[in-house]
Amino acid sequence: MKFRLLNFSRQLALTLLVIWTVVSLVTLLIELVPGDPATTILGETATAEQIANFNQKHGLDRPAFFFSYDAANGFEWNGANNRYVDYWIGLVQGDLGTSFRTERPVLGMILERYPSTIMLAIVSMIIAVCIAIPLGVLAGTNKNTLIDNAASFVALLGISLPTFVIGPFLVYFFAVKYRVFAATGSANPEDIVLPAVTLGAALSAILTRMVRSSVIEELGEDYVRTARAKGLSERKVVYKHVLKNGLIPVVTILGLQLGVLLAGAIITEKIFNWQGLGLLLLDDGIGKRDYRLVQGCVLVISVTYILANTLTDLVYRRLDPRIRIS
């Protein structure tokens, strides 16, 4: 019990450290980006008074961090009177700030788009698993044969092709040429198919290679020979015993890949105009220099990735008794 409590405390401390690092790095990088949010949002015709009012309203007239540098005075200590501290005070209270452009709460804007991105990631993972497990088992049980080579070629092809190549190809083939699906948008349930396949292709390739390696390794274990000696069919040996144990490392990779899917969704959502968190970050956040929106989106993606890793660890411990005991 004491060990579990200590382990939980370490995990919580590490999680908080990662969140602090992400927020700090994003804030620093935003400050280093050249350009003025007020001019970008208000337009080139904005007067000096309008820009000053905008900066004052959003706190942009105050120092960004604890220290500021001036060519005449050098480094100057600002104390707690800075935007970095203000952001953390709001963050602790569950406030991600207000959008510079829309004047709406950032949290509300993110919650509107977040379900679409999570749904896209989940459907992509389901597609990847449905492709990878049969293909990986087929390759692993037919090691060094034509079937294995063909499966490995498909997996290598999926890893090699980036989403910005697969996406336009699917749009041309299934939306332009044969008109099976709509080219862009997220209004109808079937609109998720093309972006989900685009994201799931690379993941299915990675999982296929992982399943293949796990099946080959498990087939050499003693319990497989025992199961065969008992007269079990090869199908039962593979799917009831080998696959069950072989999927343990696959579950780990699958959980870790959720962060990759969220990152890849930014490009995919742009290609298919999928109204998710990635499109919100790219178009409304980065494209229009809405710093608060950028900070909020990156923070939510990071927290989602951390939670996915934690859940993966729990599932891994559940599947593998050796991890649970230790």
11 band by pLDDT with thresholds 50, 70 and 90: confident
Q: Is the dihedral of CA 5, 7, 13, 16 positive or negative?
A: negative
Kindly state the percentage of the chain with pLDDT values over 70.
92
| Predicted pLDDT at 293 | 92
Least-confidence region, from 43-52, 93-102, 118-127, 253-262: 253-262
SS3 of 105, please? strand
Question: Does residue 125 surpass a pLDDT of 70?
Answer: yes
The C-alpha atoms of residue 27 and residue 309 are separated, in whole angstroms, by 24
| Predicted pLDDT at 32 | 79
Q: Rounded to two decimals, what is the model's pTM?
A: 0.83
| Predicted pLDDT at 47 | 87
Question: Does residue 98 surpass a pLDDT of 50?
Answer: yes
| Predicted pLDDT at 69 | 66
Question: Does residue 268 surpass a pLDDT of 50?
Answer: yes
- pLDDT, greater one: 4 or 163: 163
What does the pLDDT average to over 7-34?
81
Least-confidence region, from 24-33, 75-84, 273-282, 283-292: 75-84
| Predicted pLDDT at 30 | 81
What does the pLDDT average to over 86-108?
90
Question: Does residue 64 surpass a pLDDT of 60?
Answer: yes
- Residues forming a β-bridge with 67: 77
The C-alpha atoms of residue 205 and residue 213 are separated, in whole angstroms, by 13
In degrees and rounded to multiples of 5, residue 70 shows phi and psi of -125, 135
Question: Does residue 132 surpass a pLDDT of 70?
Answer: yes
The C-alpha atoms of residue 105 and residue 152 are separated, in whole angstroms, by 48
71 band by pLDDT with thresholds 50, 70 and 90: low
Q: Give me the half-sphere count of Cα atoms (radius 13 Å) on the Cβ side of residue 169.
A: 9
What does the pLDDT average to over 159-182?
86
Helix/strand number for the chain, H first, E second: 14, 2
Least-confidence region, from 37-46, 68-77, 82-91, 232-241: 68-77
The C-alpha atoms of residue 299 and residue 282 are separated, in whole angstroms, by 14
pLDDT digits (tens, 9 = 90+) for 137-156: 888 888 889 988 998 888 88
